[in-house]
Chain A
Amino acid sequence: MRLSPAQIWRTRIPRYRLIGKECKKCGRRHYPPRPACPYCGSRELIEVELPRTGVIESFTVIYTVMEGFKDRAPLIIATVKLDDGTRVVAPITDAEPEDVRTGMRVEAVLRRIRDDGSYGLIGYGTVFRPTILVHKTS
């Protein structure tokens, strides 16, 4: 996939920081951000930084990967329900397919998604990994 400088630039905030939108009319949030609310059609939206943790709602392990993903096969893709209820479709990283379950808690991390060959651009984005780190309080 050829990566366009303008497209990488345009999408960087939602992709890096999980910025979605919240509808001022119906109150629902969505991702990726759209010019009108996908649920009620209202154009009165505000940008929101979505929570970086959630649970796996559904997942797949892709063995027949598309061009550019052979080094990641099998690729795990999930729908993640963030803690505020917003759904995100994203890869699951740092996990073995046999350990992934629906209902598993995951956290957002920034990762390298695609390379446009050795000389082109690198595309970064948000993916999720199992919340493996226990935050001990002292």
Chain B
Amino acid sequence: MARDSGIVSWGAYVPRYRLKAEEIVNLWGWDSNIPKNLNVAEKAVENVDEDSITMGFEAAYNAILRANINPKRIGAVFFGTESKPYAVKPSATVIAEALGVTPATMASDLEFACRAASEGLRSALALVESKYIEYGLVIGSDTAQANPGDVLEYTASSGAVAFIVGPSKEAAAILEGVYTYVTDTPDFWRRGLSPYPKHGEAFTGEPAYFSHIEGAVRGLMESLGLKPDDFDYAVFHQPNGTFPLRVGRRLGFPKEKILPGLVTPLIGNTYNASALIGFARVLEQARPGQRILVAPFGSGAGSDAYSFVVTDRVNGLRGKAPRVDDYINAKKYVSYAVHAKMRGLYRRIAN
């Protein structure tokens, strides 16, 4: 039933700095129960010299290191982000150049809120299956923005993930099927000249997150003839620490299958890397033969549900590059004031 494409390797990156939720509680005068309700205790924040390009580079570097392939064999670099350093000028070319993938490659930045990288993953898998390319590199990376004082600040965090996609005979996880579900649902948006996104508060839940993920996952299971019991792990987009558990419950996936891929309580919501970092973390513990459900979501809105089956190649890859947990555990707390400096939130004037 398996298709002829899959995940050849993966790489992640989480910046070193963490901001505790209680800093945000104290600064903006929130009720102190909010972090607990969101199930997010702290979030990863970028250093002053980091952006979605530099973080995406490191995740991609790790993926290539783990795959041990010549970067020149990569035929497509897809970069999914909603925090592009340049509004116009591709980020993908900077990363491709720094990795030595250029010049004979496709390269583009994709936009679909938090789902852009997943669209890139679908496309790369298809390009591999159709033999247009030998390998594809898919990167999800964000330094997620939130209006200071908005509840989004508790979760909007920074991180990146990358996958090398290739033929199934080289895959650590073979694609079994994918189902995409999109509608025009304005739950979360950012206009061109706005520094921060706006959102529909509770509207981001039921009509957006839940209905799209459930639509995609049900569609996938129906098309493959699978039930929740057939999956060993389920990884959902994780805008906070509670939604993935709730959507899993509604779809029939127990907590134990969701927790291994649930990283938002530890590092916040890394937007384009959110579910996909969770997937990378699952690959670092899954056994050959196990089946993984991955369901990213992006506002606006859409969700892709993937089924991957782990192969025995996975075992040899884990130690070849830093793991998700290596980055999660290597952390240093900063104050909100320092975070604001690192993010350039203070308005300074030149000498």
A residues with CB within 8 A of B? 12-13, 16-17, 67, 70-72, 91, 93-94, 96, 109-113, 122, 124, 127, 132-138
Contacts and interface: CB of A to CB of B under 8 A. Distances in A.
Interface string B205-216: 000000000000
Given A71-B342, A122-B86, A110 B51 contact: no
Contacts of A122: 51, 85-86
Interface in B75-102: 85-86, 94, 97-98, 100
Contacts, number: 69
B97 A13 contact: yes
A67 B351 CA distance: 7
A13 B323 CA distance: 28
A110 B48 contact: no
B350 interface: yes
B319 A135 contact: yes
The prevalent SS among residues of A at the interface is mixed
Contacts of B49: 72, 91, 93, 111-113, 127
A17 B101 CA distance: 12
A109 B51 CA distance: 13
Given A71-B341, A94-B16, A12 B58 contact: no
A17 B100 contact: yes
A133 B330 contact: yes
Contacts of B100: 17
B97 A111 contact: no
Contact of A12 (B48, B97, B318, B332): B97
A109 B54 CA distance: 8
A48 B85 CA distance: 30
Contacts of B351: 67
A123 to B, nearest CB: 11
Contact of A133 (B320, B327, B344): B327
A97 to B, nearest CB: 13
Given A71-B341, A124-B53, A137-B319, A109 B58 contact: yes
B222 interface: no
A125 to B, nearest CB: 9
A105 to B, nearest CB: 15
